[in-house]
Structure 1
Amino acid sequence: MNISKYEQRVLHALAQGGRILYERAPNGRVTEVTCVTRDGLILSDCTLEVWARLRRKRLIESRDSSPYRISDRGRRNVRAQLDNR
């Protein structure tokens, strides 16, 4: 599957335990997304466009209106990266 650099960064942050918080407009559409890493930092690469592409490819999912997390399909498609901790 073709995954862009920004999508890959977001998926990697989610695979390590991050989540995507979202805000909805009164009409029900998502208007703002914020990717929070497991350490509580905000990932600036996660935009509404990147979120929409990940969701369209079914690499992230939200259950019962909870924050978006990586799906099983997303875990299989994320490339391994060295963690610089």
Structure 2
Amino acid sequence: MNISKLEQRVLHVLAQGGLIRHERGEGRKISAVTCYTRDGLVLSDCDLTLFRRLRARRLIASGGGAPYRISRRGLAAVRGQLDNQ
């Protein structure tokens, strides 16, 4: 699967235990997203367009209004990083 550097970075953070919190605007549309690392820091690279691409490819998933986390498909797509050994 062809994944950009930004997508890899976000997936790597999620694979290490991070999450994406979403906010809904009027209706059911998601209006804003914030990506948190496992340490609670905010990842500024994750924006709404990147979030929509990851969700469309089913690399991230959420259940019952919970924050978005990496899916099994996302885990298979992410490449290993040096700090993940």
TM-score when normalising by structure 1? 0.96
Q: Which residue of 2 aligns with 1:17?
A: 17
Please, which runs of 5 or more residues in structure 2 have no aligned partner? none
Q: How far is the alpha carbon of 1:27 from its aligned partner?
A: 1.4
TM-score when normalising by structure 2? 0.96
The sequence identity of aligned pairs, in percent, is 62
CA RMSD of aligned residues (A): 1.0
Aligned partner of residue 46 in structure 1, secondary structure: coil
Q: How far is the alpha carbon of 1:63 from its aligned partner?
A: 0.6
Q: Deviation string for 1:2-49 (max 9, x for gaps)?
A: 101100000000000000001001211000000000000000010000
Q: Which residue of 2 aligns with 1:60?
A: 60
Aligned length, in residue pairs: 84
Q: Which residue of 1 aligns with 2:31?
A: 31
Partners of 1:20 and 1:52 lie apart in 2 by: 12
Partners of 1:75 and 1:12 lie apart in 2 by: 9
Runs of 4+ in 1 over 3 A off after TM superposition: none
Q: Which residue of 2 aligns with 1:72?
A: 72
